[in-house]
Amino acid sequence: MRNQLLSLVLLIGAAPNSTALSFGLNFVTTNSTDIFGATTSTADFSAFGFTGMTSNDIQVAVLNAVIEDYLAYPTVTMDPLSPLGAGMTLNVSFYLTSNHSAPLNGDSQYYFINIGMDTGTITSLGWACDSCVRTAAGTNPGSVAIGSIVGSVFLDNIGSLASLATTNAHRINLIAGTTSHEFGHTVSLAHPSGPLSNPGFSAYSLMASGSASGMPNGERIYDRAFAYTEYAQLMTALGTVPDNIENPEPSTIVLFGAGFVFLLARRKV
């Protein structure tokens, strides 16, 4: 399902025409702290063993993969098990930033996940607030301010799994899978109790975890997908719009383009 090299140009910045919600992948360049008080430092990919890819290449490939997870899900015409109708996609956008800049597409609601190195003693691969951006019913609970950093992805902890990867695609999957997973928590998705039917290359969905779902770490290098039931929930939480992925908004392409609040609950992968 994921081919970063072939689909990169097609998918970068791909988004519906008029969304109310954008997520920024904030690849940290200066220490940045999320709503839980976790501070991440400059993103460092040296532990992953990427070959022939610059830091910018890696960041764009991760963005491309996250966009594919959310916006290039197979429709019912491609997969009869899919809950997604023909010609439709989720009403959400994703973009790159390094300074928590607002999206150029004018979305009134936008949030960030930091991607960088843990500066403390955190052992999880990532975490994010639970249903703080959208509830399962599709409402914005207002529990975090616009522009908040609603979670973090810890590259040093993910890098400890790099020995499982043998290709650049595997390495991108390690980072992008965690990133998509954490965004999923913010829009109401929870950890399943085990494998779930999905269109990806693993019996485990993107929302699976080691502790709650019993997923072996070896599954993290695969191109996992949201389960059909998870994607149906995303459709309710985010809404759907006609798919114009072949004609993406130029304004959603933001390369290296502000919020703080306390929340009670967080999800760990």
Residue 3: the pLDDT is: 44
Across 6-15, average pLDDT: 39
Residue 253: the pLDDT is: 37
Residue 243: the pLDDT is: 86
For residue 223 the two structure tokens come to: 């191109």
DSSP for the chain, written as a single string = ---HHHHHHHHTT---SS-SEEEEEEE-SS-EE-TTS-EEE----GGGT--S--HHHHHHHHHHHHHHHHHS---TTT-TT--SPTTEEES-EEEEESS-PPPTT--SEEEEEEEEEESS---SSEEEESSSS--TTS-----S-TT-EEEEEEHHHHHTTGGG--SHHHHHHHHHHHHHHHHHHHTT----SS----SSSSSS-TT--HHHH---GGGGGS-----HHHHHHHHHHH-EEE--TTS--GGG--S--------S-EEE-
Of the pLDDT bands very low, low, confident and very high (cuts 50, 70, 90), residue 251 is very low
At 62-103, the pLDDT tens digits run: 999 999 999 999 999 999 999 999 999 999 999 999 999 999
Contact residues for 237 (Cβ-Cβ < 8 A; gap 6+): 134, 135, 136, 137, 138, 187, 188
Residue 250: the pLDDT is: 35
With beta carbons less than 8 A apart as the criterion, state whether 113 and 150 touch: yes
Across 232-240, average pLDDT: 97
- Of the chain, the percentage scoring pLDDT greater than 70 comes to 84
Burial class of residue 213, CB neighbours in 10 A (0-12, 13-18, 19+) = middle
Residue 150 has pLDDT above 70, yes or no: yes
Residue 123: the pLDDT is: 96
Report the range of poorest mean pLDDT among 7-16, 107-116, 130-139, 213-222.
7-16
What's the total number of domains in the chain?
Answer: 1
Residue 9: the pLDDT is: 34
Distance set, CA 95 to CA 8, 41, 212 (Å): 14, 20, 30
Q: Which domain holds residue 200?
A: 4-268
Residue 247 has pLDDT above 80, yes or no: no
Across 156-170, average pLDDT: 98
Residue 126 has pLDDT above 80, yes or no: yes
Across 154-172, average pLDDT: 98
With beta carbons less than 8 A apart as the criterion, state whether 72 and 3 touch: no
Which amino acid does the sequence have at 55? S
Residue 269: the pLDDT is: 57
Which amino acid does the sequence have at 118? D
Contact residues for 34 (Cβ-Cβ < 8 A; gap 6+): 40, 113, 114, 149, 150, 151, 152
Residue 27 has pLDDT above 90, yes or no: yes
Of the pLDDT bands very low, low, confident and very high (cuts 50, 70, 90), residue 20 is confident
Query: How much is the mean pLDDT over the chain?
Result: 87
Cβ atoms within 10 Å, residue 145:
11
> Residue 96 is part of a domain; what is its CATH number?
3.40.390
